[in-house]
């Protein structure tokens, strides 16, 4: 696992956007896994700016979804399909045909989960998966004590996660669904490159447990320690609880240029 400490969210977004652009230059039809929430917005803004400036041609890139609420209609403004189309697909100038995600409105939700795992495999697998992290260490919606071998499935959200997400529903927790479809930890670990971005002091404990703690289901993000190519990008506030912060700064400052992110 590589840990990169950046000054702020903007710097983190630019760093990750350039890594995504470099991937698309090498592999124009790369499958990019995206996350939702406020944390990755600087990534999407920086990547869209690169496309607009002609620094990268993303016209053949494909986008896939990490998770989705169960029960929200596809056109609901806070369904993750709507969010990804609005924040990623449209700004990159892509068509909806380039996008794939689980169907949270399916009559048979369990079958929809199985079908999404199958669709990801048939698409050749995810080349780069963006991840955020919850204050409790969850990734996707794999809440604490999720199986580290789990596949895409239905999960019940904790009250803390519903409280955290209420800001997207006018602050009304009653509007936040109780269930989601999420890629499982085992599914996430199949992506070729995992990139987790965390910003703010509120994520510091979760980051420290993920990076420096044991691999344990109580901290789902700690499963990144098992991946051969995982990158954790954190701002100074999110890095504030890391015991090895100085070491991480030193290794990144002396990283060979040919390695890339």
User: Could you tell me which residues come within 8 angstroms of residue 21 by beta carbon, excluding any fewer than 6 positions away?
Assistant: 47, 50, 55, 56, 58
Largest Cα separation within the chain, whole Å, is 53
Task: Output the six-digit token pair for 123.
Answer: 């698409």
- Is residue 181 within 8 Å of 67, Cβ to Cβ? yes
- Is residue 87 within 8 Å of 72, Cβ to Cβ? no
Q: Give the residue numbers marked as catalytic.
A: 67, 136, 138, 143
* 3-state DSSP helix/strand/coil % of the chain, to nearest 5: 40, 20, 40
- Is residue 218 within 8 Å of 137, Cβ to Cβ? yes
The gap between the terminal CA atoms of the chain, to the nearest Å, is 11
What gap in Å lies between CA 155 and CA 169, rounded to an integer? 20
């Amino acid at each position: 696992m590589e840990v990169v400490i950046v000054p702020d969210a903007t710097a983190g977004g630019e760093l990750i956007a350039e890594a995504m652009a470099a991937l698309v230059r090498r592999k124009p039809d790369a499958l990019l896994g995206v996350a939702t929430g406020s944390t990755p917005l600087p990534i999407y803004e920086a990547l869209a700016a690169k496309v607009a400036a002609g620094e990268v041609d993303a016209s053949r890139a494909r986008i896939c979804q990490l998770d989705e609420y169960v029960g929200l209609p596809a056109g609901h403004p806070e369904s993750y399909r709507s969010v990804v189309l609005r924040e990623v697909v449209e700004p990159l100038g892509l068509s909806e045909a380039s996008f794939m995600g689980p169907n949270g409105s399916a009559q048979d939700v369990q079958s929809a989960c199985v079908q999404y795992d199958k669709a990801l495999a048939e698409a050749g697998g995810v080349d780069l998966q963006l991840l955020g992290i919850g204050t409790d260490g969850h990734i996707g919606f794999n809440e604490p004590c999720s199986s580290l071998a789990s596949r895409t499935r239905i999960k019940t959200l904790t009250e803390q996660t519903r409280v955290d997400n209420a800001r997207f529903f006018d602050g009304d927790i009653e509007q936040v669904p109780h269930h989601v479809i999420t890629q499982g930890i085992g599914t996430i670990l199949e992506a070729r490159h995992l990139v987790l971005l965390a910003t703010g002091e509120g994520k510091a404990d979760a980051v420290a447990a993920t990076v420096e703690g044991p691999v344990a289901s109580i901290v789902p993000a700690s499963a990144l320690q098992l991946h051969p190519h995982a990158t954790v990008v954190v701002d100074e506030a999110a890095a504030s609880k890391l015991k090895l912060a100085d070491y991480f700064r030193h290794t990144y400052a002396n990283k060979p240029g040919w390695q890339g992110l």
